[in-house]
Structures are given as C-alpha cells and as structure tokens.
Structure 1
Amino acid sequence: MPLPLPGSTGPSRRALLTAGAASAVVSAAGGAAWAADHENAQGARGAENADAYDTLLTRAATQLTGGAFDAADPDFAAALKTLDTQAASWWRQLDRSAGRTALWPDLSPASDPGNFGQSYTRLRTLATAWATPGTSLTDRTEVADALLEALRLLRSTGYHPGRPESGNWWFWEIGAPRALMDTCVLLRARMPAADLAAYTATVAKFCPDPDRRTNAASLSETGANRADKAVIVALRGLLARDAATVALARDGLSDVRDGGRNSLFRYVTSGDGFYEDGSFVQHGSVAYTGTYGSVLLGSTGQLIALLADSPWAVTDPKTSVLYDAVERTFSPVVFDGLMMDAVRGRAISRERARDHNDGAATVSHILHLASGAPDAYARRWRALAKGWIRRNTATPYPGLVGIPALARAKAVLDDPSVPATERLTGHFVFADMDRVVHRRPGWALTLSLSSKRIAAYEAGNGENLHGWYTGDGMTYLYDGDDLGQFGDGFWATVDPYRLPGTTVDTRARADIGSGAGTGTYRPKNAVAGGAVLDGRHGAAAMELIADGSSLRAQKAWFCLDDVVVALGAGISAHDGRTIETVVENRNLYAGGPARTLTVDGRGQPGHDGWSARLDEARWAHLQGTGGYVFPDYPGRADGPGTNVLRALREQRGGRWRDINTGADTAGSTTPLSRRYLTLWLDHGASPDAASYAYVLLPGASASATAAWARARPVRIVANDAVAQAVEARRSGVLAVHFWRAGVVAGLAASGPCTVLVRRGRGGASVAVADPGRTGVTVRVELPFAVRGVRRADDSVSVVVGRRGVVTVRVGGSRGRTHAVEVV
C-alpha cells in the first residue's frame, strides 16, 4: 500500500527552530477557566505599564543570547567559538551586492518558501552573534546595517502580506515568522519603526493567533504547533507594544477561544498532546515525545518564563500537566542524555538532529523549566539532568547546546548540593502511543509497535524515505557503554529491511514520503501494547499485518528483570518470498577491532563479508553487547529451511541524502561506511504457521550466556495461536499474552488479554491489560487458592476460593494495566 500523503503537516521541529530559540523557564501557572474573567483586566494593566514591553523584550533577547557569561571558561569559550564560526561563515557568504535576488547562493530564489524560511534562520544566527559579546561580529555597525538590508530584501521578494501561501505551510506560519521575530528582538534598537511595523504586519498576516492554521481556518492548532505559534504571537505583540496581542498569545496556551479544548495544560484522550499514561502524540497518530513533545515543553515553558511577573503572566492552575510530564513522559525515554529514536518519528532521518541532539534539547528545556518550577519538582529535575549529562561522555552535552543552555547546565554541574540521579529502572507501557520501555541499571530496551491507532511510521517532505519497518516491533537496545549505537551513522547505513526485532517480507520497497506534505501509515491490527507488573516486569504483544504483503504474525516480548524473551507464532505468507525475523543488527562502527562473535562456545570469523548458516545454534554472544539464546519451546518446528539462524558480518555504505532529501533537513551526499553484525532467523519462502523464540541477555558475558542457555531459568510454556507465555520459576513470575480464550500453565483467560502473575510467600500480584482494546470484561482464573484481597484497582473484582477468579473491566481503559494483590 502506498503511503497516503494528505496536506502538509510541516517540517517538524527541525534544527531550524531549535538552533535559534532558547528553551524556557516556568515561573507561574496558567489556564483556560480564568481567562474570561481576567483577560480584559490584564490587557489593560499591560497597556498602562509602558515599561513592561521593554522589560520583556530585554528578557526575550537574553533567552537568545544567554546574557552575561564568563568567556574565559573553557566550556563557554567553546560554545562561543561554535556560534562565531557558524555566524562568520554565513557572514562571509552573504551576498551584499546591489543587484542581488537572494542572500545566499544555495537559498535562491529568495521567493521560495523553503529558501526564505532558511534565510531568516541564518539571519537570526548572525543577529545572535552580533548581540553576543566576544564574537567577531559583536556590535559591528556594518553587520547590523547588512542585517537590516537583508530583512528588507526578504520582505520585498519573498515574505510579505501580499503573497498567498504556497508550498509548505510551516515556513509561512512558524519557521519564518519565529526566526523573523527573534531577529527583530535582537535588532530592535537599530531597526527603523517603519521596518518593524512592516515585519510585525507580515507576521500578523500569516500567524495572527496561536489557535488556527492560517491556510486552513477550520483546522485548530494543537501540541507543539500551538506552542510555537503562541511564542510568535507574544513576540509580535511585545514588538508592536500591543497588549491585546500579548494576551492572545498567553490565552492560546490554554485555548481560551475554544473553551480549553486544545489547551496545552490538559490530558487528551485522542489526537495530539499529553496522555495520562505518559504518551505524547502529534499529527494525530505518531509517537512524538522526542521532537514535537520536546518542542512543546520548550516553547510553552519559554512563553511562561517570558511573561512571568508581567501584566500578562500565565496563571492557569493546570500547568501541573507540564510539570508532571518531565518525569511521566520524558524521563523514561531519555537514556544518558540521548532521546530514544522510537519517539522521534521521521526525525531519525535528519543528519543534523540525531538522538544526542534531540536529547540535549530536551535536557535544556527541563533545566529551564526547573529555574522557576516549584522546588519539589526542580530539585528532582536538576538531579536527573546532572546524571544524564555526566554519564554521556560519547557526545558531551556542552558541545551540543548554545550559551543559554550551557549556563543552566553548568550551574547544576557545579552545585555540590545537587546529586546526580542514577539511571531510571523499571518497566513502562505507553499504551496510548504503542511504545514499551524496559530499563535496567546498565541498559534499556524500547519496543516500537503500531496499530490502527498509532502509525507504523511517518514520512514526507523528503524525510524518512526508508522508515518502512520502524513501527513493526523494532527493538532498540541502549547500552550504557555503547551510546553511539543509533546516533553514529546508523540510519544512513543500516539495512532498513533488517531492523532488530522485526519480522519482514524480503520484497523490495520503494522510497516513501519523497513528495510534498507528510503522511502516516497505520496498519490494520488492533493488538499493540501490554501490561506491567509491580513496575518491574512486563509483557507486550503485537499482531503483525504487513503492509503490501500477505505476511501475518503474532509477536510477543517478555521483559523479566535482566532478560527479554521474544516469541513469534503464526508466521504465514503466500507470496513466494522469504520471511525473516531479525534478532540483532548491531552497529560496530567504522573502525576499531572486530568484536568477537561466539556461537556455542566457538569463536566465529571476524572479517567483513563472513556469513554462516548456524542450524544447531543454541546460544551466541557478541563482545561488548551481550548474549542471545535460542531455546526449545512447545510446538517448535525444525523442518528443512525453517527457523534457520543466519549470521552476517558486512561493511555497509550509505549517505544521509539517501533517506532525507528535505528542503531544509536534507542529508549530505558524503559517503559513510559502518560495519554491522546481523543475526536473523530465516523462515523460508511462504512459511505456514512458522514460529520463533530467542532470548536477549544484554550485558551478559559469554560464560554467563552459556550458563543461562544450560539452566534456562525462564521457560517458554506456550508459543502458538492461542497464547504466548514464559515462566520464571525463581522469581515466581508467569507472563502470558492470550490471543484468544485459553489455558496456559493452569492460568485461564476468558478472552484476549495480557496477564502477569507473581507469586511469593506473602501472596501474589496480578496485572491484566487488553492491548487490543476489544473486550469489555475479561475473566482470569488463577492456578492457586485465594483467601483474600490486599489491594485492587477499582476496575478489578476477585472471587476467593481454591482457584481464585479475577474479573477485570477492561472496556474503555485504553489498554492500561489493571492490578490486584491477593493472599
């Protein structure tokens, strides 16, 4: 099925926006219910207080430059040099001739939306360098004059109220106006009043308020787009000294116009925004915590900070939603300062915005929020950030951020009263965005699932051209000693048909999203998600209904402390092509010694180009990563050509331009080369009800892997069309995903559900979820006696007896986990 491409949703939170706009402080709370009573009063106060405009514009400039800092400090000196180097380069290339039609040769003609959008971004960088002490452009008259002339050229040839929108709406309504308003803030003392009035009038045409898409007035803005527009409108109001416009920006955060329907300070149950389970969705169906969610956090916080202690201060009491999101939404998907790729959407294809870049942006936003948040929040956030920054020595934070963010970070790093929080551990199910995260002290594993509710991928505007299988159960293994795994050329060089954790049809695929606009692909399956037990153990499942193929499969993952068991059943296809399940595809980087692969105690060749068929393999170990076990299980079929383990060492080449040709995010054409070790299970051509099982032991040594394979402390007790299940006897955990009513190890379920049970001396804990969201109630009969109930969710009832019965009202619970403790 080809990718549907509706009207453009914009180029996302590209480096365009984040490079120039600083993240923000939250110092007050704000909302919708109060606005009707107080809007006029606050607006009037703003009009009476002429000094408020100057105060807030100075504050806005400081958010861009960072204010005073010690240029002799090595970290600040490096950040200053980075700014100066980029600005000086663009200054040298700037066309200042009388007959010019564009500002830079590579952004010609200036009338093109992508070109004038990027031109404004470069001008903002030049203006920032001009306004920042210590650069080669600082306070130079010729630079200021050239910037003023450049802004006039862009207005006359490209961006002015007389032009209708064309191409990508984002450049007209967010990208260009944001950079233009920032630049005006920095140059306001040198800018003629007529010029400033012309620029604010242009922005008023294309971004009149935060509430609506200007080129589609019936479309309400949501999430990050609304937050970005609110900042733009506020800056326009301050520059124009218009109290009503500043109030309009403030009220846009709470969506006063529509009674709070699209407020950024509320939990949503559909569409864009924060969900109570920690999910964040943008573009209706895309898991986007790491880009759109991060920008919402930064832009909303920035505006609250900008307006604090002013006539337009935000006082919505529901800003706690933003505070809570730091630990509920963002912390689980940040690993040592990296933003997990499973929640970055099509941004994974951006060469200049990789996991460490988006992670650093999020850390910056969180630290800015901490500057004005209630102390109970701020203390925890600063400790989190300190731990993230200290642990990431692969891509150090100071080299990823500008001066304002660096100043906030150094204040925390140099403060002995702030402890560095250890890595987060636990199991997290984000049911509303089809993501699962399992975190241990030394590693984390993320599952990227999809369903008829959440897109398998988003592509468009030339981005994410090979993202076909990123939502088909891809497993991301993050190792604390290998932080470059996905950020070091991975997406430009990896075999996109062999992403870890996926079961795929080997058919050739065409590029997706190469045209204008963005679109998503949502598969037809209902099941995607799982349950969490005691915040520590988890089980997840996904029904695979492949795009453009007859391939069908039932996939499940069981995360039990330091072990992840992956099961597949019902793998069937009839197209005559080979079907594969990818166990691992590890980036071994461009240089360095080959990591040893050991299979059943025997070292394998380490040269590129080596491949092998490992028919009888029971375990494997990759140096520096961990172990892989291939256990027996009930119903396993070992016929010819079925479930064959294969291995490959290869050196793969690629270019970022191969996966991203976007107008402002296009990758370079520089060839890259990376070495990979791939392990996969070959199910043969057109398999019929094939299955698989493998175990991941992240961080385990070769001897520990061999011992685990012999002892099998986790036993597979079912792997078929009825149920997939494992049992860890030592810890007393039984975890089952029921695809239909059935009985496994004495545990019976009346219908589809995920169940985890942990028995101990003092009783048992039970967790139940309906990741398919198809049931109303589910009845689970336990394989042991129940005398009473210690604790139960309101949705759970228990019948005591020789075989306890747990009944769960799963209808309307959105796939969340229901828990009960019995004795």
Structure 2
Amino acid sequence: MPTPLSGSTGPSRRALLTAGAASAAMSAAGGAARAADREDMDDAEAASVKDDAYDTLLSRAAAQLTGGAFDPADPDFAAALKTLDTQAATWWRQLDRSAGRTALWPDLSPVSDPGNFGQSYTRLRTLATAWATPGTSLTGRAEIAGALLEALRLLHTSGYHPGRPESGNWWFWEIGAPRALMDTCVLLRARMPAEDLAAYTATVAKFCPDPDRRTSAPSLSETGANRADKAVIVALRGLLTRDAATVALARDGLSDKRDGGKNSLFRYVTSGDGFYEDGSFVQHGSVAYTGTYGSVLLGSTAQLIALLADSPWAVTDPKTSVLYDAVDRTFAPVVFDGLMMDAVRGRAISRERARDHHDGAATLSHILHLASGAPEAYARRWRALAKGWIRRNTVTPYPGLVGIPALARARAVLDDASVPAAERLTGHFVFAGMDRVVHRRPGWALTLSLSSQRIAAYEAGNGENLHGWYTGDGMTYLYDGDDLGQYGDGFWATVDPYRLPGTTVDTRARADIGSGAGTGTYRPKNAVAGGAVLAGRHGAAAMELLADGSSLRARKAWFCLDNVVVALGAGISAHDGRTVETIVENRNLHVGGPARTLTVDGRRQPGHDGWSARLDAARWAHLHGTGGYVFPDHPGRAGGLGLRALREERTGRWRDINTGADTGGSVTPVSRRYVTLWLDHGVSPDAASYAYVLLPGASVSATAAWARARPVRIVANDATAQAVEEPRSGLLAAHFWRSGTVAGLTVSGPCTVLVRRGQGGAAVAVADPGRTGVTVGVELPFRVRGVRRADDTVTVAVGRRGVVNVRVGGSRGRTHTVEVV
C-alpha cells in the first residue's frame, strides 16, 4: 500500500514548482513556419513577445508533466516514482528497436492504424516522462533519448503525418495522438532536431489547427472536454513553434472568442454540452458525464490557466467564475471520499483501468491544480475538500493512483496545518439538467440514475459498456463510508446486469450494445425524470419507465427523508409473456472473509453461496455492513410480497463488457460474491406495485424498530400519485402524475411537491420534472395568512386553504420554493 501523505517533510509545492521550472529550462529547438489562421494577435503584439516568455512556459509545461524537482528518496514520492519507472521500463524492454521494424510494439501493429499510433504516442510519452524525471532507471540516458527520437520518426513516416486522411475514430487523430505527441516534444525539445519538430507540429496543425472546430467535420463546433483538450494541444504547439498568435488562439478557444462565446467553457448552457446552473454537466448532447468528460474539461482548463498564468497570454476571461463555481456545484456533490460516482461516468464504468477511484483521484488532482491559480476564497475551500477526501479513503489511497505532479500538490495541502480536512458533504441535490439525484448523509450517499427523452439511459460504443442496458432506468447507487470498494472492486465485471439495484426490468435476454465503431446513445420516450428538493435537505424524485424493446411500463418514485429512502412503484404492466422484477439490492460482498449475515424478520438466513429463498411474508430484512430494508403494506398492494433472495458467487471478465481498442478489458476471470434481493411481479403483470424502504447504516435492532413503528406512512401509490408522510417532522412529499388530491394536498396538474409544516409556518417546494406544464396550482391542506419568502415564479393566494401558484414553464425542471405563515 502506498505511503500516506501525512506528516511528511520536504520542499513546499511552491519550491517544487520553482525548482522544476529552473531545472527544466531548456531552449526550444528551431521554430517552424507559423500557420495561416492567426487572427487573435497582430504582428506588432506577436513581435513584442520575447523568447524568454516561451522558455518560461515550456519549462512550466515540462514541470506539469514531471512534477519538477523533488527528492527521489522521499517516501511520499517513492511509490509514484516506482510506478512510473516500472511502466516505462516495461515499455522500454518491449520496444522494437530493430532496423527493419514496422511497429514499435508487437501488440500495436500495424502502426498505420489510428488506435495503434495513438497508443504508441502515449507509451512514448511515458518513456519521455521517465527519461526527464529524476530517480528512474531511464533518467537522462542518451540511449533512451535517441530511441525516442527514432520512434517518433517511424510514427510520423508510417502512421501520423499530414499526407494521410482521417479514418476510424477521429479522437485519435485530433486529440489522443497530438496531445501525447506535443507533450513528448516538450520533454525532448532540447534534443530534437529542428526539422523533426517542424514536421510534428505541422502534422498537429493539420489535424488540430484550433480548438474551435472538428477537423473531420468542419461544421461541427467543439464543446466541453474536447474543446478544452484541443486548447491545450494548440497552446503547446504555439509554444514549441514560438508563435504568439497560436498561443493566443488556444487561450481564446476556452472562451470561444471566434464565435462570440457560443461554446465558451465559461458559460452556463440550457441544453446540450456544458455546465448547467443546477450543477449538471452533459457531453455528447445527452449524457450525464461529470465524472469523465467533465473531469477532463476541468483538468485541461486548469492546466492551461496554470500554464499561461503571468504571461502575455494569461487567461483573463471574467466568466472563469463559472468553472470555479462548478467545483462546488458540479463536482463536489458527486465525489464520495475520493470516489467519482458511477452514475456520472457514462460508458467509462466498463473500463477496467479507470474505475471510480481512478476518476475520483483525477478530479481531485484537477481541483488542486485549479486551486493554484484561483481566488483564495475558492482555493481555501477546495483544499479542505481534497484533504478530507484523501484522508478518509484508505481503501484505494490517493498516492497510489496519481503521478508525481499531483502528489506534489496534495502534499502541500496535507502539510499545511491551517487547512482543515472538510467533513463529508451532506444535503439533497437535484441535477435536473442531467436526470440525476444525489442524497447525502454523514455516513452514506444515495444516487439515482434516471433518463428521459432529454437524457440518455446509456451511452455505448467503440466496444465499451456492452451491458449498460439498465444503468439509466432508475439504478440506485448506495455509497457507504465503510465499504468504499462497492463499485470499484470488480462490480461491473461481475454484477448481474439484469438486476441492478432500483431498476424494474423485463427479464428478456439482451444482446451486447456498442460493439461497433463509433458511440451511440439510447434515449427513452418518457418525459418525467427528476424531482424537487426542500431546504437542501429532503427530496422527492420520479421517473416514468417506458422500457426499451418491451411493453413494460411503470411509474417509479423515491422519497429521500434524512436517513430514510422510500421507493415506490405503481402501474407496473407488461404483456410480453415474461417475468418482470424490481431489484431492491444487489450488494457486492467482495471476495474472502466471513459471509455477511442476512437477517429476515429476526431470523438469520443461510450464509453459503447458492442459497436462495422465497420470502413472501417478510416485513423487514437486514444485511450486515450495509443496513436495513423494510417492506410495508401500501395502497394498491395485492397478493404476496414477491420478495426473493439469493446468495451467489459470480464470475465474469472485463473483456465481456469492454472490447475497446485502447480501453478493452482483460480476459482474466474475476469472481465476487453477492446478496441480491428482488421483488417478483410475475409474468405479464397488470398494474402491479411495490414499496420498500432503505435504511442505510441501520443496525438489526434499529431496522426491526423502524418496521414496527413505521414513522413514515405511504399515503398514495397509484396512477394518480405516489406520496409519503412523516407526521413527526410535519413532512408530506408527493409526485403527482396528473391532477388530484393526496392527504388533503390538491394539485392542478403533474408535479412534484414537498410540504413541511412547523410552528412558525410551512415551506413548500414544487417542480415539474416532466417539463410539460406552464403553471401548476397547489392547494395546501391548511390556512395560509401570509408569505415570508417566495421565488419570483411563485404567487400565493392566502385563505383557509392557501393556494401556491407556480410558473413552471421554461424552468427546465428546477425547484420553486415558498415559505408561508
């Protein structure tokens, strides 16, 4: 296990960066001719930029790759250094250096294939980084530098050069290969002949001339992470060719100066790709992608801001606050103890080498990088967040997941006694722009992955996410502070993909998706997906399920009330002659160790794999190490409960779910143990329903006590409404599928409503997650004398039964609130 980054001594982050810049200062090789499109900096301004400005920034770029100067014997850096050295030494041993070679590595042949030359450049960057980093077995060796220069020539001649048209995956041509190539040129610039540098930068200039357009489709404007990545590539090319206008083009690409800010990374969007004011992040038009593309955008933009700081090309866009606010609004709610929630990682969940802890660590690193140049009010808060995440995750420790530059930034924070380690974020978050809901408590978090005609149920393609069929159908992720390996420990390679927690499914056999070239998404036809939040603490969410390739229909709702989550389903119908199931739990019990006890109504159940049972009379269950499950009676329930339980060991291969060219999984079998609880609705159910309550972290006795006391009552679960009431706190929460009345609460049309009454009055929250209404009226079951506070979209008619009128049209699913007395 890597050495933890606490209580260490050594150079500060500022000292590391300063020394790194000094040690890396080398003059760039001769410049290449400037490219034609240079509109952002005139000749006089370009001529005023002195050579030392380029040298300074190239040294800074090298330090961003190597971490600058550090003591290789320092235990905090030893593990990362060893990881780098081991990987680089492996690539070095396997590198074909023979005279007649046609590829650099046997597994990446032919080198003319875009995936192969793209990955070859990535490996060469690793070798170059190890060569430029002190303390590796490759450091400073002339033999290594010479071999790298020869390898780059082979790739240029046989694979990646201006004379070739793009083929296959555009990403390798326009982002993957040029990014790794420019990084490698930065590291080797003092050894690289001018003609080589000119050839490579000319190649990159053809395939990535600017951050603004897709070269393979010039009418397509780049957005989000792709724009950010291209901006870095163009900036490095400009520095290497000493072309001020090219560097300015890169900087201005962040703000989309070319198109008047239309695709600026520093603006909020209301549809399509980018950051939303509610904290959502979308890429590829309809995919919730905070954890991958959003993180990449954050990282590349942070890198460019830091790279160009205090230079003639410093990023000065006043709207960078959008990016700064996104750290708290977009990223922090979906990071749990350093893990990036899988609900916002799209097809990346199928990547064996990029699991939730890897993407979480990358995001943490990007946040600390951004903090180095952000206003102190932001930076102070982010450093506290990062410190808390690093210290709490001892299962997949941060030092073992990142390289030396990221370790240097983290160490500066951990060594600073003035930076507190922030506690876990708590609250309820509705990301209406990407159909995600997150409910966070001190010891756990629950995430809902929904979908609609606006947001894809899944993305698959290029051989990735082959079994992601049900990941957007209401999958419920439960993050437990005592089980941080739940989804990162072989989950996606071994879980039954037909039984994902929270989903209601038709048990038909499914074919692999996304096995061909290119990526695609599936968007269902339902309108309703989302919910409302009250006081940042309580929430209600709903989704209409219109199953893909099946007649299955269902109305699903979730009510998040502090430490309890109530899940309801109604109108579950299908006529295909197949069984329909709702999955309550499918918990990864990992491998080895004692069996975790499953208790049902006070009786321990068998703990051996292969055990299964029908538990139709069960009132509650408890799984040791996870929490409790209660199965209450509810309006609309008919017949037996239909609860089933299973213990099993499941074996799968990462290759079964990902065959991607550069992300494909291994064929090594992976085994994990699971406990699965599900509700069997029978064959072709007609208006079936369900109700279950999740009590995360509850003990056996607490679960039994809750089941007896029933402090939350289910007051409706049908085609009109699904609603719960918590009398002790004065809370009523409901989703209305149409106009109707529940527990004295009457609405004029579809909406989600939460009402909480107290001694001083009542708070009301209303949303239209279906986005079909213009106005909705909510008649309250009590007298209203006045208004204490109201959103500008809300008006109130006082009286014996007060009426809250809400203009929901155009609000894109957001919550409207009012406080009345």
Question: Secondary structure of the residue that 2:502 maps to in structure 1?
Answer: coil
What's the CA shift for 1:75? Answer: 2.0
8 Å CA contact 2:534–2:764 kept in 1: the answer is yes
Letter in 2 for 1:787: R
- Which position in structure 2 is the counterpart of 1:220? 221
What's the CA shift for 1:72? Answer: 2.0
What's the CA shift for 1:42? Answer: 9.6
- Which position in structure 1 is the counterpart of 2:472? 471
Letter in 1 for 2:413: V
- Which position in structure 2 is the counterpart of 1:233? 234
- Which position in structure 2 is the counterpart of 1:10? none
8 Å CA contact 1:47–1:243 kept in 2: the answer is no
Residue pairs, 1:367-766, within 5 angstroms = 367-638=368-639, 643-766=641-764
Question: Secondary structure of the residue that 2:80 maps to in structure 1?
Answer: helix
Letter in 2 for 1:680: W
2:780 is equivalent to residue 817 of structure 1: no
Letter in 2 for 1:762: G
State the alpha-carbon separation in 1 of the partners of residues 616 and 184 from structure 2: 64
Taking structure 1 as the reference length, what is the TM-score of the superposition? 0.95
Match of 1:789 among 787, 790, 795: 787
What's the CA shift for 1:45? Answer: 4.8
8 Å CA contact 1:749–1:781 kept in 2: the answer is yes
State the alpha-carbon separation in 1 of the partners of residues 805 and 71 from structure 2: 63
TM-superposition CA deviations, 1:279-309 (whole Å, max 9, x none) = 0000000000000000000101111111111
Letter in 1 for 2:721: A
* 4+ long deviations beyond 6 Å: none
Residue pairs, 1:311-350, within 5 angstroms = 311-350=312-351
CA RMSD of aligned residues (A): 1.2
TM-superposition CA deviations, 1:726-752 (whole Å, max 9, x none) = 000111100000000000000000000
Letter in 1 for 2:650: R
Identity across aligned pairs (percent)?
89
Residue pairs, 1:247-286, within 5 angstroms = 247-286=248-287
State the alpha-carbon separation in 2 of the partners of residues 311 and 362 from structure 1: 28
Question: Secondary structure of the residue that 2:374 maps to in structure 1?
Answer: coil
Question: Secondary structure of the residue that 2:181 maps to in structure 1?
Answer: helix
State the alpha-carbon separation in 2 of the partners of residues 638 and 690 from structure 1: 10
- Which position in structure 2 is the counterpart of 1:7? none
State the alpha-carbon separation in 2 of the partners of residues 47 and 242 from structure 1: 11
Letter in 1 for 2:695: L
Question: Secondary structure of the residue that 1:813 maps to in structure 2?
Answer: coil
Question: Secondary structure of the residue that 1:475 maps to in structure 2?
Answer: strand
What's the CA shift for 1:790? Answer: 0.4
Change in CA separation of 1:45 and 1:201 when aligned onto 2, cut-off 3 Å: closer
Change in CA separation of 1:42 and 1:798 when aligned onto 2, cut-off 3 Å: farther
- Which position in structure 2 is the counterpart of 1:81? 82
State the alpha-carbon separation in 2 of the partners of residues 651 and 115 from structure 1: 37
- Which position in structure 2 is the counterpart of 1:804? 802
8 Å CA contact 1:46–1:311 kept in 2: the answer is no
State the alpha-carbon separation in 2 of the partners of residues 568 and 47 from structure 1: 68
Bigger mean CA offset, 764-773 vs 307-316: 307-316
Question: Secondary structure of the residue that 1:688 maps to in structure 2?
Answer: coil
Letter in 1 for 2:107: D
Question: Secondary structure of the residue that 1:588 maps to in structure 2?
Answer: strand
Change in CA separation of 1:138 and 1:48 when aligned onto 2, cut-off 3 Å: same
State the alpha-carbon separation in 2 of the partners of residues 50 and 397 from structure 1: 38
What's the CA shift for 1:70? Answer: 2.4
State the alpha-carbon separation in 1 of the partners of residues 47 and 291 from structure 2: 36
Bigger mean CA offset, 48-57 vs 415-424: 48-57
8 Å CA contact 1:367–1:381 kept in 2: the answer is yes
8 Å CA contact 1:46–1:312 kept in 2: the answer is no
What's the CA shift for 1:46? Answer: 6.1
Bigger mean CA offset, 389-398 vs 300-309: 300-309
8 Å CA contact 1:435–1:447 kept in 2: the answer is yes
State the alpha-carbon separation in 2 of the partners of residues 38 and 549 from structure 1: 54
8 Å CA contact 1:339–1:358 kept in 2: the answer is yes
Letter in 2 for 1:621: H
Letter in 1 for 2:800: R
State the alpha-carbon separation in 2 of the partners of residues 753 and 257 from structure 1: 41
State the alpha-carbon separation in 1 of the partners of residues 381 and 347 from structure 2: 31
TM-superposition CA deviations, 1:39-92 (whole Å, max 9, x none) = 436981565312111111000000000001122221201110000000000000
8 Å CA contact 2:272–2:286 kept in 1: the answer is yes
Structure possessing the higher relative contact order (Cα contacts under 8 Å, 6 or more residues apart): 1
8 Å CA contact 1:43–1:247 kept in 2: the answer is no
Letter in 2 for 1:564: V
Bigger mean CA offset, 62-71 vs 600-609: 62-71
8 Å CA contact 1:384–1:421 kept in 2: the answer is yes
State the alpha-carbon separation in 1 of the partners of residues 725 and 437 from structure 2: 20
Question: Secondary structure of the residue that 2:420 maps to in structure 1?
Answer: coil
Question: Secondary structure of the residue that 1:61 maps to in structure 2?
Answer: helix
TM-superposition CA deviations, 1:234-269 (whole Å, max 9, x none) = 100110111111111111111111111000000011
State the alpha-carbon separation in 2 of the partners of residues 601 and 779 from structure 1: 46
8 Å CA contact 2:39–2:245 kept in 1: the answer is no
8 Å CA contact 1:43–1:244 kept in 2: the answer is no
How many residues are matched?
786
- Which position in structure 2 is the counterpart of 1:14? none
TM-superposition CA deviations, 1:310-341 (whole Å, max 9, x none) = 11111111000000000000000000000000
- Which position in structure 2 is the counterpart of 1:208? 209
State the alpha-carbon separation in 2 of the partners of residues 410 and 507 from structure 1: 51
What's the CA shift for 1:38? Answer: 11
- Which position in structure 1 is the counterpart of 2:771? 773
Letter in 1 for 2:754: L
State the alpha-carbon separation in 1 of the partners of residues 788 and 473 from structure 2: 39
Letter in 2 for 1:637: A
State the alpha-carbon separation in 2 of the partners of residues 288 and 40 from structure 1: 34
Letter in 1 for 2:715: V
Question: Secondary structure of the residue that 2:810 maps to in structure 1?
Answer: coil
Residue pairs, 1:104-123, within 5 angstroms = 104-123=105-124
State the alpha-carbon separation in 2 of the partners of residues 536 and 223 from structure 1: 31
8 Å CA contact 2:46–2:245 kept in 1: the answer is no
What's the CA shift for 1:411? Answer: 0.9
State the alpha-carbon separation in 2 of the partners of residues 137 and 155 from structure 1: 24
Residue pairs, 1:55-134, within 5 angstroms = 55-134=56-135
TM-superposition CA deviations, 1:538-591 (whole Å, max 9, x none) = 000000000000000000000000000000000000000000000000000011
State the alpha-carbon separation in 2 of the partners of residues 676 and 121 from structure 1: 37
8 Å CA contact 1:440–1:562 kept in 2: the answer is yes
State the alpha-carbon separation in 1 of the partners of residues 113 and 73 from structure 2: 42
- Which position in structure 1 is the counterpart of 2:13? none
- Which position in structure 1 is the counterpart of 2:189? 188
State the alpha-carbon separation in 2 of the partners of residues 40 and 624 from structure 1: 61
- Which position in structure 1 is the counterpart of 2:146? 145
- Which position in structure 1 is the counterpart of 2:10? none
What's the CA shift for 1:451? Answer: 0.1
